[in-house]
Amino acid sequence: MRVLVTGGAGFIGSHLVRALLDRGDAVVVLDNFSTGKQENIAPILADIHLYEGDMRDYALVQRAMEGVELVFHEAALPSVPRSVADPITSTSVNVVGAVTVLKAAVDAGVRRLVYAASSSAYGNAQEKLKVETLCPKPRSPYAVTKLAGEYMLQAFSACYPIETVGLRYFNVFGERQDPSSQYSGVIAKFSKAMLQGERPTIYGDGTTSRDFTYVANVVEANLLAGGAPAEVNGHIMNAACGDNISLLQLVSQLNEILGTTLEPLFGPERAGDVQHSCADIAKAKALLGYQPRVDFASGLRRTVDWYAANLAGGSA
């Protein structure tokens, strides 16, 4: 099968691309390398078809779609803080980009598009478990852009001959997540700092919790969503582990892995941040047969081992 991965040079996208190659698919990657990295796909460059450019360029996206049966739309301008600082660019990339990819997919006769949605759509909903039936309460421009993409998915599946599935990611972490960017995930940042003997900085009192999800679990959810029966069309579902870890617990576990005793520094809470996030994954289990295979502790150890081996400048 010929498959397109937008954002295929990014952290999650590059893991997905490798999984698709491993199962024998012909993989097309579209990336403008604004956040994706050449080194993420360098070892597999000869095995993919690469289109470099902006996903808002309809003509380019149309060329990348030729002969494609399945699309994984991973490309986006990530980060809540980035969207707070520059909501115009985040909205343009994430909303216009999603519509452009969807329209090109319809015009190319693509069977199904799987969309990387975000748990940020739930905002500070007070329910302990975030279930898909909750009313969205986005707290940042980024969250709104990702939620808009979900609604566009459902509109396209209702109006055009294309199947769509949305997966709400919960704080994905793992190998190749860039720890150097100010917009990096907290595990990437903390791992880098603590490997270098530095105290990590927590914004808030440290009780903020997240359903940290190892990247292999998200890749598995995507593969299942791509191949599930037609009944999944139009559905949005959580892709996570169904557990939550506080930032203080995260620092403690990193200290245990590294054999250190580094105490965190504390800073003010950041605008747009959500206090607690934990997924109900019953829907993904029922519709996709999804079951997270790698628990948090195992994924964290794998991730720290990778950073320890690669922070000096290598990549894999």
Active site residues per annotation: 142
Question: Do residues 15 and 172 touch, judged by C-beta distance below 8 A?
Answer: no
Please state, in angstroms and as integers, the Cα–Cα distance from residue 169 to each residue in 101, 109, 196, following that order. 19, 27, 29
Round to whole Å and give the CA distance between 48 and 203. Answer: 40
| Class of residue 313 by CB neighbours under 10 A (exposed 0-12, middle 13-18, buried 19+) | exposed
